[in-house]
Each structure stands twice: as structure tokens, then as C-alpha cells.
């Protein structure tokens, strides 16, 4: 039976051939419905959409059905309903929404940590509804990412070349050295993979039934050829197969629902990649064969012709359970069975880098976001210090000497904390963090903290908070003196560092021990901070 209508909450789509006879049938059906129910369809509110219909036929149809003529693509539930390729112009509305949201935030005093949070929670999610329906054009996704990048680094202005860290690195997870922003194209593929999962697991859905009835027609999804006249959307779904195929495994039960050749059900690639269709047919089997077809009385019995030519088939001897059904499972990149989810798919198909050993130094539950991002930039040596500026900016607007000590050009090593001014500040706060004997160099300090970095002890948390706060306020003072011509005394900066750390510790729960009580006295914390 062909699809002739779609019913929504308060709308009805009727599909028909673009001829006068079909229009007459629709008009008669509407009149019969009116007479039988007493409900009158609102013809002025109805719309007719035409595709490849001659103009004189269109006019004749509109005389029978006095509807308003609409223009394709029709928009429904927030997305355009298109039968052909989704064009960039069809997605301009999505890009404009992101741009308008950024315009609302541009004039607000947001730190880079605040902008990052807005990208995570809002900008990075605005495309999800569209991306779960379509494979969006690459140019559209890149345009949205460009807006996100400009908002992160330039507060929404088009500041070319002002990005401190490459976008590919920013989009890595935090434990791999990035800021955890997802690449939109990869996440779009993960969202669309959920449709493939529904097809393979035969989810109760009109779309799944229609695809199996009119597209696959009994063929295995992995074997379906990508050629001939097919819709743009269906072609895009088929192109995702190489990306996710290695993660979808069939857990053998009785073997009745698993393709012998095209499904992955053992620790080898599908047999169709190794055995030719001609050899399959010659052996007495077919391309539609199931695993059960080579099982007899609980034993694997491969045709002798195949065993002679492909002796590795002796290794395909997965245990069979007659009382269990075959089930599909998702095996992640490490080979572990995981529950299928879009986030799991994204994590397995995304670009990966090695884990960084300083992750816990920057990102931990009690970190102060502004301080954490500043420390992240320091570790990556991406702050615009005077020794690096010539690579980005040929002007001499930043001067030639450190604005704190006014003796030598500043650099990451100099500011944190080899500079006499910064070193004096570090000497006064390191005792409060239990780091009295540490060398005044932030990179040496981080390496020295490696053994306790992952611990959630009070000493570890306080040490990380103090290091991040000290680097943040030293960098802030450097910029104030350089750009705003203002100065604070070392006492004022030390007080800012201690105040920030103390306020953060007030929101934490400390374990009541001798060490905890000592730190509470040191930081003037009330009894309420103990568990």
C-alpha cells in the first residue's frame, strides 16, 4: 500500500498525482467527509503544493480545489520539507538564528569562560533539531562554527586571526587537551546514525516500515547498492555506512535474524568482504542466507567447497543458543559493548588525540572556570606575550618590556613566575597552598604536582586553586598596566588571589581531619565547610 497521507496534531498532508482526476477525487472525499461528520474543512486555510506540474494543469486543479498555492519547500515543525537536495539557502534561517543569539550577547560583559559555557549549552545545540532530520550542507555547519569561533575569541566580532588556539584543538574533549566543543559535522553524522540503528533494529515506526518496503525490498542494509536514481537524503544515509559499520555487531542467539555474509557477528570483518558472491552461490548458499543456515544440530557445518578455498571459516564458530534471539549491540572503539546513544556514536567516530597528563590540573570539580581557561592557555603557551606577538601582529603596540618589572620582554616563563614582581606575589601565596619549596616556574610546578593532581584531597584542590588564581591575577595585572595604565600593589593582588580561593573553598565540603582543620584556620573557613 502506497503512502497517501500524513496526519499530524492539527494538520493533514494529502499526496496525489498532479492531474485533474486526482484533484477531483480529493474534492469528493472532502465533501463526503463534510456530509458524514458535519465538520467543514477550511479551504481558505488550505494550501496546494505542486512539483513538476504543467501550468495549465495547475490552473485546472486550483479551480477544482480552491486552495492557495504554496511554494516549496514547505516548512513544518520548524524544518523545511524538501524532496531534493537540501540547499544552503534552505538553512539560512538556522544560521541567522545563531547570529541573532550572538548579537544579544555581544554587548554583555562576558568572560571567555562565560562565552564557552554559552557555546556549550546554546549555540552548540541550536542545530540539533535540524541535524537530527537532515545531513546538513558542510558549508552551513562551517558557517555556524565560524560564528561560534568568533564569539569565543572575539566576542562576536569578525576578528580574523585572533584565535589563540586552532579550532581543531578547541573541539577536542578536555581530557585530550581541548575545550570540549563538538565538531558539528561529526555530531550531525552521529545524530543521523540513530536512523540507521532504527532501521537495523526494526523500530516500530512508519518511516522504518516504509524504507524496508519501498527502498530495501528484502535486501540487507549493508549490501544495498548506492547507485541509480535515489533520493538525496537516502544516499546520504547510505554514505554513513562505512563510518559506523564496524561498531554495529550482531550478538548471536539462534542465528535466525543475522545475515551470514553482511552482518558483523565475529571478531573478523563481514564475510562478504572476503568471499565472492560467485563462490557463495556455487556452495549452495545464497546472499540472503542467515547464520542459522550453516548450523545443524547445534554444530557449524560449512559447505566443503568454501572450507577448501577459505580455511579461515573454521574460526567462525560462535556458540549458538536456540532459546535466544539475535540482538544488535554497539561495540565502542575499544571493543566494549555499550548502550546505543548519539553521544556514544559521536565519541567513537570523532577525531581523537592522546590524553594529556595535565587535564586534572586545569579541569576539576572545584575549579574556577575563568582561572581554568587562563591556565589552559598558559599550558599551551598561547597567551599573547611579547615574545610571541611578532608572529601574530607586526605592530609594536604591546611595547618591548614586561609591564610588571619593566626590565625584559615578558614571556610565559617570565610572567609565571620568574618576573621579580610576579615572584614576590607567588612567594606570598605558595605557603597557603603547601607549595613553599616549589620552584617559581609554573611548568615546573605543574610537573611537580603530577603525583597528587588527580586526587580529590583538600591539599590537592587548594594547591590547584592557588596556582590557577595566581597565574590569572598576574596575567590580569600585566594587561591592566599595559592597556589601561592602572596599577595595583602586590598586597592588593595577593588579597585578590586569597579572596578568590577562599570564596571557592566556602562552596566545598572538606573532610574533618587534622589537615582539614589546619587549612580551615589558614583560610579562615567556618565550621560549616566540614562534612
pLDDT in tens, 302-354: 999 999 999 988 888 777 887 889 999 999 999 999 999 999 999 999 999 99
User: Is 80 exceeded by the pLDDT of residue 237?
Assistant: yes
* Domain presence at residue 93: no
Per-residue pLDDT, 159 = 60
pLDDT in tens, 250-279: 999 888 899 999 999 888 789 998 999 999
Per-residue pLDDT, 1 = 44
Q: Which of residues 71, 98, 121 is at a domain's end?
A: 71
* Domain presence at residue 138: no
Share of the chain above pLDDT 90, in %: 55
pLDDT in tens, 34-83: 899 888 888 788 888 888 889 999 999 989 988 888 887 777 777 887 76
* Domain presence at residue 432: yes
Which of 215 and 80 is assigned the larger pLDDT? 215
* Domain presence at residue 46: yes
Q: Which of residues 29, 55, 71 is at a domain's end?
A: 71
Beta strand residue intervals within 56-195, DSSP E: 68-69, 74-76, 79-81
Q: Which of residues 71, 98, 120 is at a domain's end?
A: 71
Which letter, b or e, does each residue of 61-95 get, where b requires 16 or more Cβ atoms within 10 Å of its Cβ?
beebbebeeeeebeeeeebbebeeebeeebbeebb
Counted domains in the chain: 2
CA atoms within a 13 Å half-sphere pointing along the CA-CB vector of 496 = 19
Nearest to 106 by CA among 73, 147, 137: 147
User: Is 80 exceeded by the pLDDT of residue 402?
Assistant: yes
**What is the sign, positive or negative, of the torsion defined by CA atoms of 237, 242, 243, 248?**
positive
Give CA–CA dist 181/116, Å, rounded.
Answer: 8
Give CA–CA dist 352/355, Å, rounded.
Answer: 9
User: Which residues lie closer than 8 Å to 37 by C-beta, 6 or more apart?
Assistant: none
Give CA–CA dist 187/124, Å, rounded.
Answer: 10
pLDDT in tens, 510-526: 777 787 788 888 888 88
Per-residue pLDDT, 211 = 92
pLDDT in tens, 115-162: 999 999 999 899 999 999 889 999 999 999 999 999 999 876 666 657
**Structural domain containing residue 16:** 5-71
* Domain presence at residue 349: no
* Domain presence at residue 377: yes
* This prediction's pTM: 0.86
Share of the chain above pLDDT 70, in %: 95
Give CA–CA dist 475/383, Å, rounded.
Answer: 9
* Domain presence at residue 190: no
Per-residue pLDDT, 187 = 96
Q: Which three cell numbers stand for residue 118?
A: 554559552
* Domain presence at residue 395: yes
Amino acid at each position: 500500500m502506497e503512502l497517501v497521507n500524513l496526519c499530524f496534531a492539527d494538520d493533514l498532508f494529502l499526496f496525489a498525482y498532479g492531474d485533474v482526476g486526482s484533484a477531483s477525487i480529493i474534492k469528493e472525499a472532502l465533501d463526503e467527509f463534510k456530509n458524514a461528520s458535519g465538520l467543514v474543512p477550511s479551504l481558505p486555510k488550505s494550501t496546494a503544493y505542486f512539483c513538476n506540474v504543467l501550468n495549465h494543469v495547475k490552473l485546472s486543479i486550483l479551480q477544482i480545489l480552491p486552495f492557495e498555492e504554496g511554494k516549496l519547500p514547505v516548512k513544518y515543525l520548524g524544518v523545511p520539507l524538501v524532496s531534493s537536495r537540501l540547499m544552503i539557502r534552505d538553512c539560512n534561517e538556522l544560521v541567522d538564528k545563531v547570529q541573532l543569539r550572538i548579537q544579544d550577547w555581544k554587548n554583555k560583559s562576558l568572560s571567555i569562560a562565560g562565552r564557552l559555557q554559552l557555546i556549550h549549552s546554546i549555540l552548540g545545540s541550536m542545530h540539533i533539531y535540524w541535524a537530527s532530520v537532515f545531513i546538513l550542507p558542510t558549508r552551513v555547519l562551517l558557517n555556524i562554527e565560524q560564528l561560534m569561533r568568533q564569539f569565543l575569541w572575539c566576542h562576536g566580532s569578525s576578528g580574523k586571526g585572533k584565535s589563540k588556539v586552532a579550532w581543531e584543538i578547541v573541539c577536542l574533549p578536555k581530557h585530550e587537551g581541548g575545550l570540549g566543543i563538538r565538531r558539528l559535522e561529526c555530531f550531525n553524522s552521529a545524530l543521523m546514525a540513530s536512523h540507521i540503528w532504527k532501521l537495523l533494529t526494526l523500530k516500530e515506526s512508519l518511516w522504518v516500515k516504509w524504507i524496508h518496503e519501498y527502498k530495501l525490498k528484502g535486501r540487507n542494509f549493508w549490501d544495498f547498492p548506492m547507485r541509480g536514481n535515489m533520493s538525496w537524503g537516502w544516499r546520504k544515509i547510505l554514505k554513513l555506512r562505512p563510518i559506523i559499520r564496524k561498531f554495529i555487531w550482531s550478538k548471536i542467539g539462534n542465528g535466525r535474524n543475522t545475515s551470514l555474509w553482511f552482518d558483523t557477528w565475529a571478531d573478523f570483518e563481514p564475510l562478504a568482504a572476503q568471499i565472492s558472491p560467485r563462490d557463495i552461490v556455487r556452495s549452495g548458499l545464497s546472499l540472503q542466507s542467515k547464520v542459522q543456515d550453516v548450523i545443524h544440530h547445534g554444530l557449524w557445518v560449512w559447505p566443503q567447497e568454501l572450507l577448501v578455498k577459505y580455511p579461515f571459516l573454521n574460526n567462525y564458530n560462535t556458540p549458538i543458543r536456540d532459546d535466544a534471539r539475535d540482538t544488535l549491540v554497539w561495540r565502542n572503539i575499544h571493543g566494549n559493548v555499550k548502550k546505543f546513544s548519539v553521544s556514544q556514536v559521536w565519541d567513537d567516530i570523532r577525531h581523537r588525540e592522546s590524553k594529556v597528563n595535565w587535564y586534572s590540573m586545569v579541569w576539576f570539580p572545584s575549579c574556577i572556570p575563568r582561572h581554568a581557561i587562563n591556565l589552559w592557555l598558559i599550558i599551551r603557551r598561547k597567551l599573547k606575550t611579547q615574545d610571541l606577538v611578532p608572529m601574530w601582529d607586526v605592530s609594536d603596540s604591546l611595547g618591548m618590556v614586561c609591564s610588571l618589572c619593566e626590565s625584559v620582554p615578558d614571556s610565559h616563563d617570565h610572567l609565571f613566575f620568574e618576573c621579580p614582581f610576579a615572584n614576590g606575589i607567588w612567594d606570598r601565596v605558595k605557603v597557603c597552598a603547601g607549595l613553599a619549596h616549589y620552584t617559581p616556574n609554573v611548568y615546573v610546578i605543574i610537573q611537580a604536582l603530577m603525583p597528587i593532581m588527580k586526587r580529590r584531597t583538600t591539599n590537592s584542590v587548594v594547591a590547584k586553586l592557588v596556582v590557577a588564581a595566581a597565574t590569572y591575577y598576574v596575567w590580569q595585572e600585566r594587561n591592566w598596566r599595559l592597556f589601561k595604565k592602572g596599577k595595583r600593589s602586590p598586597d592588593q593582588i595577593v588579597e585578590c588571589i586569597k579572596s578568590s580561593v577562599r570564596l571557592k573553598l566556602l562552596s566545598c565540603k572538606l573532610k574533618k581531619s587534622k589537615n582539614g582543620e589546619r587549612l580551615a584556620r589558614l583560610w579562615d573557613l567556618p565550621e560549616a565547610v566540614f562534612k
